[in-house]
Structure 1
Amino acid sequence: MPEHRVTAPTPPADGKLKGPASYFPSIEKTYARPMQEWLDLVADRLDSHRHMDVVAWLKTEHHMGHGHANAIVAYVKSELAR
């Protein structure tokens, strides 16, 4: 089994991530945790909680803004669906 169910994206040559991942540099800077930690937390939580419940959890427990929380959850859901 892989170490991470969802791995943080590698920025492309131009350095610009697209879609929900475009928020990741700002999330790392604002909340002082590597994206991989957030992705792991959210991937585990999505096993038993709905999208908006996980967004609400990130906002309440980790004081994350709605856009940042939603971007992480959307990215993880998309990657898990692959």
Structure 2
Amino acid sequence: MTADKIKGPASYFPSIEKKYGRPISDWQALVRMHYPAKHMELVAMLKSEHGIGHGHANAIVAYTLVEDETPVPR
């Protein structure tokens, strides 16, 4: 039996948490605090204010924006 490999932005999460020492939920909370802002504005904020690399910042923002667009079932 093989486990499904994580794909897309979430595949970066283990290395983001290891490199920057904070859980993804913390980074997502920061992104959400800056709503409403455009994708690249949020990426720039993570890069300039928190020193996150472009690819990692983009992954956090992309995942968070998609997650927040998905309606929660009642």
TM-score exceeds 0.5:
yes
Partner of 1:19: 8
| Alignment-mate amino acid for residue 40 of structure 1 | A
CA distance in 2, matches of 1:35, 1:15: 20
Task: Name 2:26's counterpart in structure 1.
Answer: 37
Alpha-carbon distance in 1 for matches of 2:7, 2:53: 19
Please give the alpha-carbon distance, in whole angstroms, between the structure 1 residues aligned to 2:53 and 2:15.
Answer: 11
SS at the partner of 1:59?
helix
User: What is the one-letter code of the residue matched to 1:39?
Assistant: Q
Identity %: 57
Structure 2 counterparts to residues 60-79 of structure 1, below 5 A: 60-79=48-67
Say if 1:27 and 1:48 are closer, same or farther in 2 by CA, change over 3 A.
Answer: same
Could you say if the C-alpha distance between residues 33 and 15 of structure 1 is closer, same or farther in structure 2, counting changes exceeding 3 Å? farther
Match of 1:80 in 2: 68
TM-score relative to the length of structure 1: 0.77
User: Where is the helix percentage greater, Structure 1 or Structure 2?
Assistant: 2
For structure 2, the residue ranges without an aligned partner over 5 or more in a row are: none
Q: Distance in 2 between matches of 1:26 and 1:77?
A: 20
Larger Rg: 2
Matched, 1:28 2:33: no
